[in-house]
């Protein structure tokens, strides 16, 4: 039985974690399946957004501790490489990527989400990096990517204390962009984004990714090119006309 499910809802591709009996604890097989599904959706021209969620209550309680416990240095390296391959695939994806964090979204499960464009949490979600409590550090970038999201001292505090945040606390730190009542509200946000001009969305993402990787000067150059290209485009003119008619 597959540890994930794939679903296509309009132009949204869903990667659905389905190891419910283990609360979606991430093992090597599951990580590989997530990457394969992401790649499959990435090359599907009809899909604009790739969404990760759970078919059960919890998004993921983190890495499978039974698997971690059995590791030596060689197998720990192999596991870490699988994690690296997955998060780099998410980070490098040209489509918009989003995670719906529900229930417990901890450790590796939370860390994987840090590489996406968007993280939206259900009101009941609990989010954090408690790995230090079992004697390990982050396995999927939580000691690296989290610094970019919340700043050095906040990332240090969360990593050293193992504190588990409520959805609202996570929103205050900028970890999640919105807190919603349930799946329908989450999907409505994605559907609204999916209706935006596709090339413009890609351009905005490309400009912001350039800032993260190459700095503000290079990003500003990319932003300028996107602006010059889009302002006179037919699609932009049509949207401007609609706006002006509303006034």
Listed in sequence order, the residues at least 6 apart from 219 whose beta carbon sits closer than 8 Å to its beta carbon are 207, 208, 210, 211
Domain of residue 48, residue span: 4-194
Contact 145, 111 (CB under 8 A): yes
Check whether residue 103 and residue 68 sit in a common domain. Answer: yes
Domains of the chain: total: 2
**Of 117, 88, 91, which is closest to residue 190 (Cα–Cα)?**
117
Check whether residue 211 and residue 183 sit in a common domain. Answer: no
Check whether residue 158 and residue 219 sit in a common domain. Answer: no
Six-digit token pair at 197? 């001009």
| pLDDT single digits (tens) 15-53 | 999 999 999 999 999 999 999 999 999 999 999 999 999
pTM (2 d.p.): 0.93
Last residue of a domain, one of 194, 214, 235: 194
Over pLDDT 90: what percentage of the chain?
Answer: 85
Check whether residue 151 and residue 208 sit in a common domain. Answer: no
Check whether residue 49 and residue 166 sit in a common domain. Answer: yes
Check whether residue 222 and residue 113 sit in a common domain. Answer: no
Check whether residue 93 and residue 187 sit in a common domain. Answer: yes
End-to-end CA distance of the chain: 56
Q: Are strands 96-101 and 126-128 parallel, antiparallel or unpaired?
A: unpaired
Q: Residue 246: what pLDDT?
A: 85
The gap from C-alpha 200 to its chain's centroid, in whole angstroms, comes to: 20
Six-digit token pair at 237? 């003119």
Check whether residue 63 and residue 76 sit in a common domain. Answer: yes
Burial of 108 (0-12, 13-18, 19+ CB in 10 A): buried
- With a cut of 90, say whether residue 195 has pLDDT above it: yes
Q: Residue 48: what pLDDT?
A: 98
CA dist., res. 171 & res. 57, Å (int): 20
CATH number of the domain bearing residue 175: 3.90.226.10
Contact 238, 200 (CB under 8 A): no
117 secondary structure, DSSP code: S
CA dist., res. 81 & res. 83, Å (int): 5
């Amino acid at each position: 039985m597959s540890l994930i499910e794939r679903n296509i809802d309009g132009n949204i591709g869903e990667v659905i974690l389905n190891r419910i009996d283990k609360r979606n604890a991430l093992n090597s097989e599951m990580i590989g399946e997530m990457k394969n599904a992401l790649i499959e959706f990435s090359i599907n021209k009809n899909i604009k957004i790739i969404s990760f969620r759970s078919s059960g209550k919890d998004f993921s309680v983190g890495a499978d501790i039974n698997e971690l416990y059995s590791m030596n240095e060689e197998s720990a390296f192999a596991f870490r490489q699988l994690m690296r391959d997955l998060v780099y695939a998410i980070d490098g994806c040209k489509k918009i990527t989003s995670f719906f964090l529900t229930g417990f979204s901890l450790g590796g499960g939370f860390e994987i989400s840090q590489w996406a464009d968007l993280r939206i949490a259900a009101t009941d979600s609990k989010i954090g990096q408690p790995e230090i409590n079992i004697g390990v550090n982050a396995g999927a970038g939580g000691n690296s990517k989290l610094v970019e999201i919340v700043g050095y001292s906040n990332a240090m505090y969360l990593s050293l204390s193992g504190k588990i945040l409520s959805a609202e606390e996570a929103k205050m730190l900028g970890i999640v962009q919105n807190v919603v009542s349930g799946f329908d509200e989450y999907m409505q946000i994605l559907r609204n984004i999916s209706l935006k001009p596709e090339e413009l969305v890609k351009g905005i993402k490309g400009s912001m990714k350039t800032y993260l990787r190459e700095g503000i000067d290079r990003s500003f150059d990319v932003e300028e090119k996107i602006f010059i290209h889009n302002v006179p485009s037919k699609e932009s003119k049509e949207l401007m006309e609609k706006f002006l008619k509303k006034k």
